Structure formats: C-alpha cells, structure tokens
Amino acid sequence: MIPVPASRGPKAEAREPPVRDAADVRPAPGCIGRPVFARRFVASDAETRATSALVVAALAGAGLDAEELGAVELVLVEALNNIVEHAYPAAGGPVEVSVALTGDTVVLDILDWGCALPGGRLPDPGPPWPASLPEGGFGWHLIRCLTDALEHVRRDDRNRLRMVVAVAPRC
C-alpha cells in the first residue's frame, strides 16, 4: 500500500489503487503503438540509471540509431530525475515506465503517484541564462527540445507524462 498524506485533498477516496506487482504492469490505457518495454520500480537515482539502460537496450534491439537512442534516453532520464526530486521529495515512491513504438515515433508513458506539478501544468521555463552559470533548471527545456509531443494528465493522485520522440520511419 502506498502511503498517501491526508493533505492530498478531498478526492482521496476516489483515487485508483496503484498497481501492485509486475504482472499488472502494462502500457497505460490509451497507449498507442507496439509495446516494447514496461517496468515498475521505486524512484531513485540508481533506478533511473537502471531503467534507462533497459529502455535503451530494448530500443537498440528495435533498430534505433545512436542519436535517436541518445534523445530518448535523455528525455526519459530528465523526466525520472524530476520524479525523484520533485514528485517524491522525501522518499522514493512507485514509478511505472512503458515504452511503445509506432512506425516513426517512440512513445514513453511514465506514471507516478507523487506530488502534482506546480500549478498543475507542464513547466515551460525556457533555458536558463548561460552567463548566470546555472547549476540546474535545464531539465524541462531539454525535454521540450527533444520531444515532438508532450502531455501531462493528473488524475486523482496519479501523474501520467507522455513524451513522444520522432524517429526514422521503420517497418
């Protein structure tokens, strides 16, 4: 059972129970394309690294080239970094990553049961000013640069982020 602080609001009774075991992990409802990867884990920097390695291996097997793999890996890692840092700031919580391929896109769906995004919307901060020597704030900018579609849905206590990355058409 995932502990949910009482402060999560009046909708708490309506929330969906989080998926509990690996057998339940499947592409999110409404997922498009051919599923190539699904994994559930507890958010941490180490799991971000492990999951991105598995996703890259699965997509390399599907024929993506090094540049495409680099873009997918970067947006996935940035999204998972955000979950580790902001959705679950106190301790790790559950995350599900599923990846599907259409003919010319990679579709990444990431679910978490952590904090909502500030203002309930996808941040669009633009790049930080280089001359200010920023040590952070690059994540959403990189995600926006490298994705062709980006969607966030907060339903009850769950965030679903969908990122679509265009790749060379393949059969």
Partner 1 sequence: MEVEAQTTEAGLVVRVLADRIDAAAAIEFKEAVRRAADHPGAPVILDLGRVVFLDSSGLGALVAVMKMLGPDRPLHLAAVTPNVAKVFRLTRMDSVFVIHDRVPVALHRAFG
* Among positions 28, 62, 74, 117, the unique one binding partner 1 when judged by CB under 8 A: 74
Residue type, position 48, single letter: T
Range in contact with partner 1 (rule: CB under 8 A) among 46-54, 103-111, 114-122, 152-160: 46-54
Total of chain residues touching partner 1, rule CB under 8 A: 29
The dihedral through the CA atoms of 43, 113, 82, 115 has a sign that is negative
Which of 44, 102 has the CB closer to partner 1?
Answer: 44
The nearest distance, CB 108 to partner 1, in angstroms, is: 15
Angle between helices 66-82 and 45-61 (to 10 degrees): 150
Crossing angle of helices 139-146 and 66-82, rounded to 10°? 140
Q: How far apart are CA 117 and CA 83, in angstroms?
A: 10
Q: Does 165 bind partner 1 (CB under 8 A)?
A: no
Is the distance from CB of 130 to CB of 66 less than 8 angstroms? no
82, amino acid identity:
N
- 23 is a site residue for partner 1 (CB under 8 A): no
Contact window for partner 1 (CB under 8 A) among 22-30, 109-117, 134-142, 163-171: 134-142
Q: Does 122 bind partner 1 (CB under 8 A)?
A: no
Q: In angstroms, rounded to a whole number, what is the distance separating the alpha carbons of residues 86 and 27?
A: 24
Q: Binding partner 1 by CB under 8 A: which of 35, 92, 123, 128?
A: 128
Does 54 bind partner 1 (CB under 8 A)? Our answer is no
Q: Cβ closer to partner 1: 72 or 99?
A: 72
**From candidates 2, 16, 34, 45, binder to partner 1 by CB under 8 A:** 45
**What CA–CA distances, in Å, run from 63 to 48, 57, 69, 102, 168?**
22, 10, 10, 13, 10
Residues that bind partner 1 (CB under 8 A): 45-46, 48-49, 66-67, 70-71, 73-74, 77-78, 81, 84, 127-128, 130-131, 133-139, 141-142, 145-146
